[in-house]
Amino acid sequence: MKALLLLLLLAPAPAVAQFKPWHSPYNFAYGAKARAMGNAFVAVADDLTAAFWNPAGLAGLREPEFYLAYKSTGQDHDYELQDRRLPGDTRLYNYNFDDRLNQIDFFAVSAPFRAWRRPCTLAVGYYRYIPYGYKGTAKEVITSLVGLWPAKRTTTEFTGSEGFDVLAFSLGVKASRFLSLGVTLQQFFGTGSRNVHTQEPDEEYFSNVVENLRGRSFVVGALVTPAPWLRLGLAWRSAMKNRLESTVSTWQEDGTGEKFAEASASCQARVTIPEQYAAGLQLRPLPWLDLSGEYSASEWQRGRIENYFDAPRLPYPQLADWASAQNQVRNLRLGAEARLALGQRVLRLRGGWSRERQLYRNGADAAVYLGSYSLGAGWEFSPWLMLEAAYQRQRADYQENGYFNLRVEVPTHFRANVVFLALTYRFGHVFRPNR
């Protein structure tokens, strides 16, 4: 039954199946400062997003804080006009996908305390592991240069996205002068959905996918400071295997909006999200300058979904829409922050670069790399309030299998612009009125 439903969904809209999963867990990052520094943050981890990056960094927070971040993303993915079916054939194929995501991305609150004469920090946070508030449009055109074959336009609109919320409980402990340790429990909950509306010249198709993930995983981190100018960071995210409930509904509508050809199915599957490792360092060559670097690895070839409707075992999150196996993800990231004193306030200027290998492969079965650069700033309005902003530009250019002829490679391009805004409020003065 599931196979039939997928065919009903995908057959009228090949563009749906060709959408690459750039919005996926392996490509997620949180926090304006981390994003501005190219996400080279595992050894920095000096704000509340440390709960995600490296919870050992929470031990360095000296007063209660509240953190709130907002993210706006615009992405565009397109083929160049290309792809003749046969030599001399004038039939061409063009495809473009663009989407927008606007959401509150992360918030958390912390409470420092002392235990066994050691500084400790407890934090509770919330973030969205896969996005909501997501809207996209895919357009494909099959046409002929000389009019021998009429143009056929298909437009697919997406709203929402399969997604899962995370409630994070974190503890950071300064074990010694040189060592901090931390752990975060990530509790997955909530339900995500995606609505798809496909328009062809003569027909309209609709589908709705609702998914619910229940499970938990851990983030364990350490920070080692062997010298005042050097800090090393290590983080490990545990694998997760738990239940995924999924429901798929499809239907068509006539010119009056009346539904017909309705079908639906549901299942309880098992999802395996693989573990991830990250190592990084932070250098302070000058009192006003920090440099950071990070290397991380996710074994996404081990990502699986089992008993997903009629499929006993598939790669996750790619499911069955891919000609090649999933790739291991490798990330190399570099960042910098310069602090400029302006009167009694500090302006923080940041920059970063990254090169991240995606789980998706190109037409030659080689890894696709996503390159990016980023800029940002942080401004302390008072001892209690800091505002931050970040901008990141992402791009990937590679060859992909053709539409009519899979043996012909054609250029495809991916572009993304990401804007982060964040607020940090330190309310230690509320408990120390004589400060």
The answer to the question of residue 150 being in a domain is: yes
Q: Give pLDDT, residue 48.
A: 97
pLDDT band at 283 (very low <50, low <70, confident <90, very high): very high
Q: What is the rounded average pLDDT of the residues 50-56?
A: 97
pLDDT band at 3 (very low <50, low <70, confident <90, very high): very low
Identify the residue with better confidence: 7 or 55.
55
The answer to the question of residue 371 being in a domain is: no
Structure token pair of residue 354: 């990254």
Q: Give pLDDT, residue 132.
A: 55
Q: Give pLDDT, residue 144.
A: 66
Q: Give pLDDT, residue 1.
A: 27
Q: Give pLDDT, residue 24.
A: 44
Closest CA to 268 of 321, 214, 318: 214
Predicted confidence (pLDDT) at residue 4 exceeds the cutoff of 60: no
Structure token pair of residue 434: 């004589």
The answer to the question of residue 267 being in a domain is: yes
Which of 7-11, 74-78, 349-353 shows the highest mean pLDDT?
349-353
Q: Give pLDDT, residue 14.
A: 31
Q: Give pLDDT, residue 8.
A: 27
Identify the residue with better confidence: 140 or 41.
41
Number of domains in the chain: 1
In tens, the pLDDT along 333-388 reads 999 999 999 888 899 999 999 999 887 778 788 888 899 999 999 999 888 999 99
The answer to the question of residue 366 being in a domain is: no
The answer to the question of residue 179 being in a domain is: yes
Long-range contacts: 253-261, Cβ < 8 Å, 24+? 253/204, 253/206, 261/8
In tens, the pLDDT along 80-121 reads 665 555 556 666 777 788 888 888 889 999 999 999 889 999
**CA trace torsion 305, 311, 314, 316 (10° rounding):** -40
The alpha carbon of residue 186 and the mean position of all alpha carbons in its chain are separated, in whole angstroms, by 16
The answer to the question of residue 393 being in a domain is: yes
Q: Give pLDDT, residue 147.
A: 60
Q: Give pLDDT, residue 87.
A: 59
Q: Give pLDDT, residue 430.
A: 56
Q: Give pLDDT, residue 19.
A: 45
Rg (CA), the chain: 24
CA–CA gap between residue 400 and residue 398 (Å, rounded): 7
In tens, the pLDDT along 168-203 reads 999 999 999 999 999 999 998 877 788 888 888 778
Q: Give pLDDT, residue 354.
A: 95
**Residues across the chain:** 435
Structure token pair of residue 305: 């979904």
Q: What is the rounded average pLDDT of the residues 68-83?
A: 80
What's the pTM? 0.87
Q: What CATH number should be reported for the domain holding residue 141?
A: 2.40.160.60
Identify the residue with better confidence: 430 or 376.
376
Q: Give pLDDT, residue 124.
A: 97
The answer to the question of residue 123 being in a domain is: yes
Q: Give pLDDT, residue 148.
A: 57
Which domain range does residue 185 map to? 2-348+377-430
Q: Give pLDDT, residue 130.
A: 60
In tens, the pLDDT along 406-416 reads 667 788 888 99
The answer to the question of residue 304 being in a domain is: yes
